[in-house]
């Protein structure tokens, strides 16, 4: 037992702490999806108004993506994530006190403000504390932890609502968030070389310690242009993800007449597929890169395959009404879609490891914009048609567009500080060796 604990090195403990943050973040942002029915009934909200509450999170989330990652590069992940954690913990707490549409929207805006820099800044921490050959797996596992939060949250929130109320469920999650912030500040250090638990062997394997850890001025405009294709792919992926995160419990509750606990169990079960998809996507991406040395195959082609697989699996949702068939289709579609996340979040690190916080923030801007538009579009279509299956057609179309746009990402072309990078779809696969 002691030897096993000794092998759990400081970089691995740091990585576990980052994974825990992903879990907490997604509990904070998706708990409202399960509580939506109770909130809607209590505050007398329409589906369109509920869509506004969902999307309110994404307005500041989108805006701050453009400089949230820069803050992680400039000030370091320790301070940046400590401040973010305090904000999103307080926002979650305040949602429990909201008594109007305006109050809910304001709290969700504050939550988006706090969470916006978190994932890009965490990517900066991963780039410092994880060997480059493991970046795909690291991104897959962190987002798998997020999907654990997705899967656990619906049944947990349903249970807490039954025990207390929808307000009490937010108080509980806020307490968990604050506990993580305290642990982060106490244990994490920006530079692995300055952590008392880091060994010489750890430092030999890590990429951004020592001289490379020095912070440089970020070439924002050129980097933004370079990452734009990745941003567009992330938007297409995220459109459907937001549908799952915000509307899935309500989909089963309203379209199939399930009660809150049943709909939460269906939603949680489907979201479990994301845990497997995230993990395998990251592992497969790194293995492909190790065997072929080809970043296009390891990242772009794997992402395209996951998006196409997801849209194929979603097709039965449009035409079939049997709840079990639909649940299986949604589960398979979510699995395929989540194969994308590990390689996709690795692309900014492949392109610009020295600016990975800023680059991943630019990419995640697409995720945030989808978070604004997708919930509103879903709620609007439901209010106008009453058909809870129809909005998935938009998801299918955007998954197809995202698969096409992967041709323009070019993770095999590293960003250079002193020269422009020309964007074009690949003519042939290049071999970018480890």
Please say if the pLDDT value at position 258 is more than 80. no
Whether residue 391 is contained in a domain is answered as yes
Among the ranges 256-270, 294-308, 318-332, which has the highest mean pLDDT value? 294-308
pLDDT confidence of residue 29: 75
pLDDT range class, residue 418, cuts 50, 70, 90: low
Measured between alpha carbons, how far apart are the two ends of the chain, in Å? 34
Whether residue 209 is contained in a domain is answered as no
Q: Which two tokens stand for residue 325?
A: 């068939």
CA dist 230 and 223 (Å) reads 12
CA dist 400 and 177 (Å) reads 36
pLDDT range class, residue 116, cuts 50, 70, 90: confident
Which of these ranges, 214-223, 286-295, 332-341, 409-418, has the smallest mean pLDDT? Answer: 214-223
Whether residue 199 is contained in a domain is answered as no
Whether residue 416 is contained in a domain is answered as no
Q: Which two tokens stand for residue 333?
A: 């579609």
Q: Measuring CA to CA, which residue among 379, 371, 391 is closest to residue 50?
A: 379
Q: Measuring CA to CA, which residue among 351, 308, 314 is closest to residue 329?
A: 314
Mean predicted confidence (pLDDT) in 52-80: 80
In the block, residue with structure tokens 């020592």 = 210
pLDDT higher for 89 or 134? Answer: 89
Please say if the pLDDT value at position 326 is more than 80. yes
Mean predicted confidence (pLDDT) in 286-300: 90
Mean predicted confidence (pLDDT) in 144-161: 81
CA dist 61 and 332 (Å) reads 29
pLDDT confidence of residue 271: 75
Please say if the pLDDT value at position 222 is more than 90. no
Please say if the pLDDT value at position 433 is more than 50. no
Please say if the pLDDT value at position 22 is more than 60. yes
Determine what percent of the chain is predicted with pLDDT higher than 90.
25
Q: Measuring CA to CA, which residue among 102, 108, 104 is closest to residue 58?
A: 108
pLDDT confidence of residue 303: 96
pLDDT confidence of residue 426: 42
pLDDT confidence of residue 216: 59
Whether residue 370 is contained in a domain is answered as yes
pLDDT higher for 316 or 379? Answer: 316
pLDDT range class, residue 336, cuts 50, 70, 90: very high
In angstroms, how far is CA 13 from the centroid of its own chain?
Answer: 21
Please say if the pLDDT value at position 152 is more than 70. yes
Mean predicted confidence (pLDDT) in 141-150: 82
Please say if the pLDDT value at position 185 is more than 90. yes
pLDDT confidence of residue 430: 36
Instruction: State which residues form the domain around 368.
Output: 8-192+217-408
Whether residue 415 is contained in a domain is answered as no
CB 346 within 8 A of CB 285: yes
Please say if the pLDDT value at position 210 is more than 50. no
User: Positive or negative CA dihedral for 27, 30, 34, 38?
Assistant: positive
CA dist 399 and 373 (Å) reads 15
pLDDT confidence of residue 260: 65
pTM for this prediction:
0.72
Whether residue 420 is contained in a domain is answered as no
Q: Which two tokens stand for residue 211?
A: 């001289």
pLDDT confidence of residue 230: 94
Whether residue 434 is contained in a domain is answered as no
Among the ranges 10-24, 28-42, 61-75, 380-394, which has the highest mean pLDDT value? 10-24
CATH number of the domain encompassing residue 222: 1.20.1250.20
CB 307 within 8 A of CB 402: yes
In the block, residue with structure tokens 């589906």 = 47
CB 152 within 8 A of CB 169: no
Domains: count for the chain: 1
- Calculate the average pLDDT of the chain: 82
CB 252 within 8 A of CB 387: no
């Amino acid at each position: 037992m002691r030897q096993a604990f000794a092998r759990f090195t400081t970089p691995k403990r740091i990585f576990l702490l980052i994974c825990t943050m992903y879990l907490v973040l997604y509990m904070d942002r998706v708990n409202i999806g399960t509580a939506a029915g109770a909130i809607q009934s209590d505050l007398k909200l329409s589906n369109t108004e509920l869509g506004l509450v969902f999307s309110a999170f994404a307005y500041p989330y989108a805006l701050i993506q453009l400089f949230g990652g820069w803050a992680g590069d400039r000030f370091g992940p320790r301070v940046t994530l400590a401040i973010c954690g305090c904000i999103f913990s307080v926002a979650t707490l305040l949602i429990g006190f909201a008594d109007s549409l305006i109050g809910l929207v304001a709290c969700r805006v504050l939550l988006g403000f706090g969470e916006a820099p978190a994932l890009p800044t965490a990517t900066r921490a991963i780039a410092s504390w994880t060997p480059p050959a493991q970046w795909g797996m690291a991104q897959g596992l962190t987002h798998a932890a997020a999907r654990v939060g997705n899967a656990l949250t619906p049944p947990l929130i349903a249970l807490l609502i039954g025990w207390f109320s929808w307000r009490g469920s937010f108080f509980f999650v806020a307490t968990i968030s604050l506990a993580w912030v305290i642990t982060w500040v106490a244990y994490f250090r920006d530079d692995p070389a300055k952590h008392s638990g880091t060994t010489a062997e750890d430092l030999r394997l890590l990429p951004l310690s020592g001289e490379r850890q020095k912070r440089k001025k970020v070439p924002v405009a050129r980097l933004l242009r370079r990452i734009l294709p990745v941003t567009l792919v992330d938007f297409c992926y995220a459109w459907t993800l937001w549908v799952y995160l915000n509307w899935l419990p309500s989909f089963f509750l309203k379209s199939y007449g399930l009660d809150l606990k049943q709909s939460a169990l269906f939603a949680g079960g489907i979201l479990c597929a994301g845990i497997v998809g995230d993990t395998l996507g990251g592992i497969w991406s790194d293995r492909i890169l190790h065997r072929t040395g080809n970043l296009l195959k390891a990242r772009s082609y794997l992402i395209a395959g996951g998006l196409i697989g997801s849209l194929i699996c979603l097709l039965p949702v449009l035409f079939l009404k049997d709840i079990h068939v639909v649940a299986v289709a949604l589960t398979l579609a979510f699995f395929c879609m989540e194969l994308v996340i590990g390689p996709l979040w690795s692309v900014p690190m492949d392109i610009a490891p020295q600016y990975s916080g800023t680059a991943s923030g630019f990419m995640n801007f697409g995720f945030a914009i989808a978070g604004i538009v997708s919930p509103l579009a879903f709620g609007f279509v439901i209010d106008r048609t009453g058909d809870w299956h129809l909005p998935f057609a938009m998801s299918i179309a955007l998954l197809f567009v995202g698969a096409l746009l992967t041709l323009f990402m070019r993770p095999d072309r590293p960003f250079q500080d002193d020269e422009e990078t020309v964007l074009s779809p690949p003519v042939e696969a290049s071999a970018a060796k480890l």
